[in-house]
Chains A and B, each alone.
Chain A
Amino acid sequence: MKSLLTQEELFNKLNFTHILIDSCIWLEYYEYTEAFEPLIKYLQAVHCDILTLPIIKFEVLRSQNLENYQRLNTIIDDYALNFTGYKDKTITEEALNIARIYKKNSNTSASFIDCYMISIILSLQKSPFILTENHKDFTSLLFDPIYIHPIPIQTKNGTLKIYTPCIYEFNKTKYAKELAKLSR
């Protein structure tokens, strides 16, 4: 695994690029706003535009009641640009490749939505970044973690929970190697 970056390297990576924020982060940001706010501020300061996708909204909103649906939708719309510039057929085909790579490497937990998101990240030529807490499905198999931001939260029942949002960069070399293995 590649080591994490220095703060200067992180700036150089993210400066004037784009990043996808995963559904889990939106939900955690709503729940623990002040604790997650520094991450949002940093992305804005470094001029890294936040992107969202209809499927990310779907994941955030699907289990919410109407009130929560409207609130979460407002927050995502306030911060994120809705990215729709992709061709569905190609994305779906790539998602299938990713699902097969995961299956071959015994990772069967990634949902179609996760594979689909990775496929869209793959299509972002210059900015293959995602901010997520889903370390299981955005693994080092295809991604390099470049920044981890631990957030300790005192829960209502007094226990300490540590959230670990991480910025991952899609590694196209690893993907090409894994893709080649599929055809063997």
Chain B
Amino acid sequence: MKSKLERKSVRKIFADNNYDFNRIVNDDNLLKNLGVDLNKIKKVRDFIKEHPLSVSKD
């Protein structure tokens, strides 16, 4: 469960950036401040690159 302070911080960061989807998702520092685990996202991306889906035989 996130604390009220965290909620306030998240709202403030979004408000400071005009709630702009593109601005927020393209700024790694903002994402880190918002608690997004960029290492995990990169790990998943690398995993998918290394293991593309093979064509299903079914």
Residues of chain A touching chain B, judged by Cβ–Cβ distance below 8 Å, are: 6-8, 10-11, 15-16, 30-31, 33-34, 37-38, 40-42, 44-47, 63-65, 67-68, 71-72, 74-75, 78-79
Contacts and interface: CB of A to CB of B under 8 A. Distances in A.
A15 B7 contact: yes
B36 A16 contact: no
Interface of B: 2, 6-7, 10-11, 14-15, 18-22, 24-26, 30-31, 34-37, 40-41, 44-45, 47-49, 51, 53-54, 56-58
B53 A71 contact: yes
A8 B21 CA distance: 10
Contact of B44 (A10, A38, A79): A79
A130 B45 CA distance: 23
Contacts of B7: 15-16, 47
B53 A31 contact: yes
B58 to A, nearest CB: 5
Contacts of A64: 53, 56, 58
B36 A68 contact: no
Chain A contact residues: helix, strand, loop or mixed: helix
Contacts of A46: 10, 14
Given A7-B20, A47-B2, A75-B48, A65 B35 contact: no
A64 to B, nearest CB: 6
Contacts of B53: 30-31, 64, 68, 71-72
Chain B contact residues: helix, strand, loop or mixed: helix
Nearest to B51: A71
B57 A45 contact: no
Contact of A47 (B22, B35, B48, B58): B35
Contact of B58 (A42, A44, A65, A74): A65
A68 B49 CA distance: 13
Given A33-B49, A72-B53, 10 more contacts: A15-B7, A15-B14, A16-B7, A40-B41, A44-B36, A46-B10, A67-B54, A68-B54, A68-B56, A71-B51
Contact of A34 (B31, B37, B45): B45
A11 B2 contact: no
